[in-house]
């Protein structure tokens, strides 16, 4: 894989986000929703604790809808408009193209996350939080966003319809999120053996995100997120390669 080619594709794709007002609209919607969840539903001020648990706990649920809205255009729109054939006639491999477009979307999500840092200043003004835990929470959120994006990349590569891509991505991400919550685990225990349920729980997004969110950066959690992202890129590359062959 040629890093220069990947960088060029990522830069071109990232620039395209800001060619229209859609990027600004997305950033505003993301910040408003996250602020509403944190301060209104999360009772940030009422809790009276100098931490950001009320902030990070909503990230999986917000990403479940926000990230598919970003990923649905990565390949579905390229395939619908026919520009995917033009892109793949250039001296680039499919994996380089997939990786470049993925990195552009991931950087864009990272920018959206970076714009939430005023809440860190707020909590430091109000108290003395453990900033190491906050940094770990941001790292976990960024990796979580990348994992959601990897799922969306696969779904976008499988169809030329953005709406279908959005629905499929949201459904898959919902499944991966719900497997980590107690009410769903209790229901699964009624129909499946405990070792099976335990295995499914450990494959869920919240299981690994919550560990990092608490400030515990385990290499197993990092490996989980990174391996899913790599798998998503490889799977999307295979799908697009087969589409080109057909």
pLDDT in tens, 110-136: 998 998 888 888 777 777 777 888 888
Q: For residues 57, 149, 171 and 246, what is the CA-based torsion angle, rounded to 10 degrees?
A: -170
Section 135-141 average pLDDT: 88
What pLDDT does 84 receive? 62
> Is residue 24's pLDDT more than 80?
yes
- Domain holding 132, by residue range, is 3-245
| Structural contact between residues 220 and 213, judged by C-beta atoms closer than 8 angstroms | no
What pLDDT does 230 receive? 92
Instruction: Identify the residue with better confidence: 22 or 244.
Output: 22
Query: What is the average pLDDT value for the chain, to the nearest integer?
Result: 80
> Is residue 165's pLDDT more than 70?
yes
Q: What DSSP designation does 203 have?
A: T
**Banded model confidence at residue 146, pLDDT cuts 50, 70, 90:** very high
What pLDDT does 135 receive? 87
What pLDDT does 82 receive? 61
pLDDT in tens, 32-86: 888 787 777 666 666 656 567 778 888 888 888 888 888 887 776 666 666 666 6
What is the CB neighbour count within 10 angstroms for residue 1? 10
> Is residue 142's pLDDT more than 90?
yes
**Banded model confidence at residue 178, pLDDT cuts 50, 70, 90:** confident
Give alpha helix (H) positions in the chain.
3-17, 22-35, 44-47, 53-56, 59-71, 76-81, 83-88, 94-114, 118-126, 131-157, 162-178, 182-189, 194-202, 205-213, 219-245
> Is residue 193's pLDDT more than 80?
no
Instruction: Identify the residue with better confidence: 145 or 217.
Output: 145
Domain count, the chain: 1
């Amino acid at each position: 894989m040629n890093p220069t080619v990947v960088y060029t594709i990522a830069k071109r794709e990232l620039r395209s986000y800001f060619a229209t007002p859609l990027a600004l609209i997305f950033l505003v919607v993301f910040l408003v929703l996250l602020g509403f969840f944190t301060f209104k539903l999360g009772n940030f001020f009422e809790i009276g604790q100098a931490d950001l648990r009320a902030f990070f706990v909503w990230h999986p649920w917000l990403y479940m809808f926000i990230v598919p809205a970003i990923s649905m255009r990565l390949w579905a729109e390229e395939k619908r408009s026919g520009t995917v054939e033009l892109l793949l006639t250039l001296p680039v491999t499919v994996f380089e193209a997939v990786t470049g477009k993925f990195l552009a979307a991931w950087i864009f999500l990272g920018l959206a996350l970076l714009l939430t840092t005023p809440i860190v200043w707020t909590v430091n003004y109000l108290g003395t939080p453990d900033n190491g835990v906050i940094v770990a929470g941001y790292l976990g959120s960024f990796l979580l966003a990348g994992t959601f994006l990897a799922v969306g990349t696969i779904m976008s590569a499988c169809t030329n319809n953005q709406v279908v891509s959005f629905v499929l991505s949201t459904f898959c991400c919902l499944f991966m999120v719900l497997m980590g919550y107690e009410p769903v685990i209790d229901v699964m225990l009624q129909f499946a053996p405990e070792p099976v349920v335990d295995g499914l729980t450990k494959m869920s997004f919240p299981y690994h995100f919550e560990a990092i969110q608490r400030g515990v950066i385990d290499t197993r959690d990092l490996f989980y997120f990174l391996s899913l992202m790599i798998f998503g890129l490889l799977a999307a590359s295979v799908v697009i390669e087969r589409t080109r062959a057909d």
